[in-house]
Amino acid sequence: MPERVIDTNTVTIVGEIYSPLVYSHEMYGEGFYSFEIKVDRLSDYSDILPVTVSERLIIDLPIDIGTTVKIEGQLRSYNKYVGGKNKLILTIFARDLSLYDGKEEIKNPNQIFLDGYVCKKPVYRSTPFGREITDMLIAVNRPYNKSDYIPCIAWGRNARFSEKLKVGDHLKIWGRIQSREYQKRISDEKVITKVAYEVSISKMEVSQDENNKEEK
């Protein structure tokens, strides 16, 4: 039986395939593949985002590097055991994938909507250039008692507002998925560059229903 589509986690992405398809895993006899998609921002920067797609969605499609596609789906998370620690892995799970020929006008090639709950105390900070940022982790429920845990970043006025949120607060979030490089020191002599994925919030609302669950 196919999984019921819910609207608490929706993603629409238009971009170029950036890496070859690689076999990922099999579930209930269905094969899944992964690749990266390049999505341009309004600036000169592009986000390189991971995608997971079922083999049934790409039959007879020319899924080659440089091909422009439109993907609709969800932003999913799972834990992977790496180096003795659990690491949160994010991927865009494609529910529909089609070639994009440019005839349909796409005002925003990178859109996400999340309806979920604050599951970790928000952390407010400011950059060396004075930009205000609040980091949040949002839990979004899906069928079969599963949840996705999505890192989100609020900026400016939204950052100041988010700083005061509590674990259990029910939020609706609109924004885009971004990739961000950062450096991690693993020894006195060695620093490696890693990539983080998160949702950059452009709009948010607090839902008063089922709020502040930890206080009940």
Assess contact for 54 and 3: CB atoms under 8 A.
no
CA-wise closest residue to 90 among 165, 11, 158? 11
Distance CA 173, CA 122 (A): 15
Please give the tally of structural domains in the chain.
2
Considering the domain architecture, whether residues 77 and 138 belong to the same structural domain is answered as no
Q: Is 155 exposed, middle or buried (0-12, 13-18, 19+ CB in 10 A)?
A: middle
Assess contact for 132 and 155: CB atoms under 8 A.
yes
Q: What is the pLDDT of residue 181?
A: 85
Considering the domain architecture, whether residues 104 and 130 belong to the same structural domain is answered as no
Considering the domain architecture, whether residues 96 and 119 belong to the same structural domain is answered as no
Considering the domain architecture, whether residues 107 and 126 belong to the same structural domain is answered as no
Assess contact for 100 and 62: CB atoms under 8 A.
no
Considering the domain architecture, whether residues 167 and 183 belong to the same structural domain is answered as yes
CATH number at residue 141: 2.40.50.140
Considering the domain architecture, whether residues 88 and 174 belong to the same structural domain is answered as no
* DSSP code of residue 159: H
Considering the domain architecture, whether residues 120 and 186 belong to the same structural domain is answered as yes
Distance CA 61, CA 154 (A): 37
Distance CA 205, CA 207 (A): 6
| pLDDT tens sequence across 62-110 | 889 999 999 999 999 998 877 778 889 999 999 999 999 887 888 899 9
Considering the domain architecture, whether residues 89 and 119 belong to the same structural domain is answered as no
Q: Is 27 part of any domain? A: yes
Q: What is the pLDDT of residue 211?
A: 62
Domain end position, chosen among 87, 111, 135: 111
Considering the domain architecture, whether residues 126 and 172 belong to the same structural domain is answered as yes
Domain end position, chosen among 59, 85, 111: 111
Mean pLDDT, consecutive 10-residue stretches, the chain (216 aa), reads: 66 97 94 96 91 95 93 94 82 96 85 97 91 96 91 95 95 96 80 91 86 52
Expressed as residue numbers, the domain containing 73 is: 9-111
Report the relative pairing of strands 170-185 and 110-118 from DSSP bridges: antiparallel
Q: Nearest 5°: phi and psi at 85?
A: -130, 150
Considering the domain architecture, whether residues 23 and 80 belong to the same structural domain is answered as yes
Considering the domain architecture, whether residues 41 and 101 belong to the same structural domain is answered as yes
Considering the domain architecture, whether residues 122 and 94 belong to the same structural domain is answered as no
Domain end position, chosen among 58, 80, 111: 111
For 15, 139, 207, 210, the CA distances from 215, given in Å and listed in that order, are: 43, 17, 16, 11
Nearest 5°: the CA angle 203, 5, 27 is: 120
